[in-house]
């Protein structure tokens, strides 16, 4: 039988979720799910000191702008892209967030 030795390993972020998907974002429901995921990831990033308090506030503000813009009947895609770009700069070093932001950017670009 194989041994699984974890001595000396450090796990920074571990996901224990029933369903964690970072695939394509195709529907409005997928967008909502992605935004909720990002909100949770920002909380985790702040609690693990990956984001300063100021950066967390800025990221939350940009995420809220994207959320509000996408809820409108005729979203301003350029405004959403601008907020997404700012959010990417703030979170560039946080891989789980960047993966979702990349897919969200593609979904937003398809709105135009």
Token digits for 101? 């932001």
- The answer to whether residue 10 sits within a structural domain is no
- The answer to whether residue 61 sits within a structural domain is yes
pTM: 0.72
pLDDT band at 108 (very low <50, low <70, confident <90, very high): confident
pLDDT(27) > 70:
yes
Question: Picking from 39-43, 63-67, 72-76, which range would have the lowest pLDDT averaged per residue?
Answer: 72-76
Among candidate residues 95, 105, 101, the one with its CA nearest the CA of residue 48: 95
* Domain count of the fold of the chain: 1
- The answer to whether residue 5 sits within a structural domain is no
- The answer to whether residue 33 sits within a structural domain is yes
- The answer to whether residue 81 sits within a structural domain is yes
pLDDT at 20: 47
Range of the structural domain that residue 40 is part of: 28-109
């Amino acid at each position: 039988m194989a041994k699984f030795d974890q001595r000396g390993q450090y796990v920074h972020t571990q996901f224990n979720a029933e369903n964690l998907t970072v695939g394509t974002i195709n529907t409005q429901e997928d967008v909502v799910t992605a935004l909720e995921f990002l909100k949770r990831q920002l909380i985790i990033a702040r609690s693990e000191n990956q984001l300063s308090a100021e950066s967390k506030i800025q990221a939350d503000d940009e995420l809220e702008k994207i959320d509000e813009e996408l809820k409108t009947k005729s979203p301003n895609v350029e405004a959403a892209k601008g907020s997404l770009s700012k959010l990417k700069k703030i979170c560039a070093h946080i891989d789980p967030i960047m993966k979702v932001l990349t897919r969200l950017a593609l979904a937003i670009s398809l709105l135009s």
